Structure 1
């Protein structure tokens, strides 16, 4: 049985102290607005052709930009047909080290690949490190179940019209292994650290004990 969930490993990469509190309190329910954004990942073709649907969608950038990005992804990705019509949805994967849900399972010509839909804003390039950990965890679990290599995964940011393919390479696997070690070592609150941008959206900001000094006070 896997020791960790995909979400735990993502949280370990983001903030070990947050992982401690989530284990103590239990994982939070997925907010309705997050579910609404994730649902857009199954509606790309309609967003590309239906102006009313695009304008009514919970997107977080200009409608024209979302459509332009989706068109670019359609032209760029060989597996676009699998992205818009995956072989399975909300698939539970159980690997050697971690288990969790892949929002899409793509059975492409090159082999099976997981895809995860994220509600937030993507970085300028690539994928945020905690999300990389979650993607690699899904790929490793799928590889364990299928008993074959899974060398690609997809990160979708549907509120921004962004779909990115990532290679499950040695560097990303190293980040994943580090998150595994961190998750295994968390048995109490991690050491207090000075606040940074990661603290602002955290639900434990008010009571976790992390110092939240301003830049002015630091100077």
Structure 2
């Protein structure tokens, strides 16, 4: 049986296989303090909703205090607001058939089906900002991985996952659709088969925000150095 692939590796594979190569070579997956500070916002929604402008301005939000408060007010209208603000579990390690990863929250489901107990929904908390609609592909892939791992553990269907963007007060739903599951399988194949230095992306906007952009593709690097020898 193949070793379980980290859900974070799947996100890297979906974004750029070369980024995954560097991440595995450096073997440093600890999020920086700035990321942890943004993720902490996801556990303070009720307090942030009542916070003053000065209090909000002191937190790592990416919009104005007025806009942030307005978005949290809309967020409060969601049916799962209570479950979002009082999750069943935090930083829950999940291990499925193919992958493992940490769900930053397990958000309680309102009810089960038949005699089955309700199965919670995994939530991934992103330090970034969402696209205009939906969720970025790497985060969709990671969210699907968490949902599939939770379904494997609970032996029950988990048809969706959540991705939270607390810096802007937005929560998006990721369904386990045919397209999302196909993207997950593609990333899983890349992550499992990555035993070489992948080609560098050419003229990609992805490179601008990549942690490894200063080192990626430097011509003076030899093949031996790229392979970590």
TM-score, L = length of structure 1 = 0.91
Q: In angstroms, what is the RMSD of aligned CA positions?
A: 1.5
Partner residue, 1:58: 60
- Conserved 8 A contact 1:2-1:99: no
* C-alpha distance in 2 between matches for 1:183 and 1:210: 23
Structure 1 residue 2: Cα displacement: 4.8
Gaps of 5+ in 1: 212-219
- Cross-structure match for 2:134: 126
Aligned to 1:137: 145
| Structure 2 runs not aligned, ≥5 long | 112-118, 220-229
1:194-218 C-alpha deviation (Å, 9 max, x unpaired): 131111121221222179xxxxxxx
Q: Report the more deviating stretch, 192-201 or 149-158.
A: 192-201
Deviations for 1:115-138, whole angstroms, at most 9, x for unmatched residues? 011001110010000000010000
| Cα distance in structure 1, aligned partners of 2:194 and 2:201 | 15
Alignment of 1:97-136 (within 5 A): 97-110=98-111, 111-136=119-144
Distance 1:73 1:18, change over 3 A: same
What is residue 216 of structure 1 aligned with on the other side?
A: none
Output the CA distance in 1 between the equivalents of 2:161 and 2:130.
15
Q: Cα distance 1:2–1:89, how it changes in 2: closer, same or farther (>3 A)? A: farther
- The question of 1:26 aligning with 2:27 is answered yes
CA distance in 1, matches of 2:201, 2:122: 34
Contact 1:36/1:58 (8 A) holds in 2? yes
Question: Deviating runs (4+, > 3 A) in structure 1?
Answer: none
SS at match of 1:200: helix
* Aligned residue-pair number: 210
- Residue 47 (structure 1) aligns with: 48
Say if 2:190 is the partner of 1:189: no
